[in-house]
Amino acid sequence: MPSISTDPVDYNIFGGHPGSRTRMQNPLVYSGTLDEFEQNDLTPVIGREFYGLQIRDLLRWDDQHMKDLAATISQRGVIFLRNQDVNPIEMKDFIVRLSTLAGCPESSGLHVHPLTEEGSELGDQISVISSEKQKKGGGLTHQLSDVSRFASAGWHSDITFEKVPSDYAMLKIHTLPKTGGDTMWASGYEIYDRLSAPMKKFLEGLTATHDATFFNDEAERLGNPLRKGVRGSPLNQGGELRTQHPVVRTNPVTGWKSVYVNKGFTKRINGVSKDESDILLNYLFNLVTQNHDAQVRFKWNQNDCAIWDNRSTFHCATYDYDAARAGDRVCSLGEAPYLDLGSKSRREALAA
């Protein structure tokens, strides 16, 4: 794993870490190479489905096709590919290439979840998403079930408790109930655009604390040691599982601003009183959970895949089933979150 610099930031950004900067000098510009493939936007704001594509074939695409795919995922938030014949090794190869061409820092690799068992059959970088595992008491959903009976408590972005969180993630569902078990995604771009101008300016000066120290208790209860070594970036190691990120961040692939707090891991907005923090966070969480027109809902079939940009989306599974539901997820790591004060909102960029 390459070492990282600690040189001070010398340009107009808020937040971030100088040792884990994006390599993107400018946002990716879609060149049109994907126009030949059948596709459909699932809502005006978020989500696109491609038809007839196999990830195994995408691995042989040239760099421009892959860059256009990265731009599409980051602009639309999440894409869906049906009936995929792809194994975990190919999933890892694909997401690494996608993240690399989208400008991830050289120090960023694939994430190792703190609760991943050492010697896992699928490898350290594959997280098994399993309803049976959740029933035994493991992970975010179990922790949230102890404090809330609202299904919306599960909305989150992946691994925001890390100093260098995820850019892209891919999930393949291979086992699913006859009905139920959908997943919803919401657009952080759209949430930002729904804020008033004074509120945008206020939130752009704040950071928030993201905390998953409860994983320490989960690891002890499950009888598996917490993964305290390097988890895909030199900045992601140890057992603290707590960090601070800007409340509003810039996605370097699009150059668009997004709200970056989530119910699963964000505990406190810093620099304000706890009462003020609670009010602000509840308002932002409500914007995510109560605006169905900022969301897309996907009904899985066996072996379907979703690929999404964690920097600008939130997601939540619907636990409305009893039968087994399982899949494999891989997360690449991007840059340390930052806000470029000169970046635009999604609506501003599309209007221009």
The amino acid at 145:
S
What is the spatial distance between Cα 167 and Cα 169, in angstroms, rounded to a whole number? 7
Q: Which residues contact 266 (CB under 8 A, 6 or more apart)?
A: 160, 208, 209, 210, 211, 281
Contacts of range 198-205, beta carbons closer than 8 Å, 24 or more positions apart: 200/248, 203/247, 203/248, 203/259, 203/280, 204/14, 204/246, 204/247, 204/248, 204/339, 204/341, 205/14
The dihedral sign for the CA sequence 189, 150, 41, 57: positive
* C-alpha distances out from residue 125 to 115, 163, 168, 351, Å: 11, 17, 13, 39
What is the spatial distance between Cα 162 and Cα 208, in angstroms, rounded to a whole number? 13
Q: Which residues contact 301 (CB under 8 A, 6 or more apart)?
A: 82, 83, 176
Pairing of strands 242-246, 48-50: unpaired
Contact call for residues 305 and 170 (beta carbons, < 8 A): yes
Q: Domain 13-351 carries which CATH code?
A: 3.60.130.10
The amino acid at 220:
E
The dihedral sign for the CA sequence 108, 333, 172, 239: positive
- In tens digits, the chain (352 residues) has pLDDT values of 333 333 333 335 788 888 899 999 999 999 999 999 999 999 999 999 999 999 999 999 999 999 999 999 999 999 999 999 999 999 999 999 999 999 999 999 999 999 887 766 667 877 776 655 555 555 555 455 455 567 788 899 999 999 999 999 999 999 998 999 999 999 999 999 999 999 999 999 999 999 999 999 888 887 888 999 999 999 999 999 999 999 999 999 999 999 999 999 999 999 999 999 999 999 999 999 999 999 999 999 999 999 999 999 999 999 888 888 889 999 999 999 999 999 999 999 999 8
Tokens of 252: 């370097």
- HEC profile for 249-300? EEECCCCEEEECCCCCCEEEECCCCHHHHHHHHHHHHHHHHCCHHHEEEECC
Using DSSP's 3-state secondary structure scheme, residue 40 falls into strand
Contact call for residues 250 and 74 (beta carbons, < 8 A): no
The dihedral sign for the CA sequence 163, 215, 279, 310: positive
Count of residues in the chain: 352
Going through the chain in order, the beta strands assigned E by DSSP cover 13-15, 39-41, 48-50, 78-81, 126-130, 166-175, 183-187, 207-211, 242-246, 248-251, 256-259, 266-269, 295-298, 304-309, 313-317, 326-333, 338-340
Looking at 78-187, list the stretches that DSSP marks H as alpha helix, in order from N- to C-terminal side.
Answer: 88-101, 131-135, 140-145
Q: In the chain, how long is the greatest CA-to-CA distance?
A: 54
What is the spatial distance between Cα 49 and Cα 127, in angstroms, rounded to a whole number? 24
* Terminal Cα distance for the chain, rounded: 41
Contact call for residues 290 and 160 (beta carbons, < 8 A): no
Using DSSP's 3-state secondary structure scheme, residue 198 falls into helix
Which residues sit opposite 183 in a β-bridge? 298, 317
Which residues sit opposite 316 in a β-bridge? 184
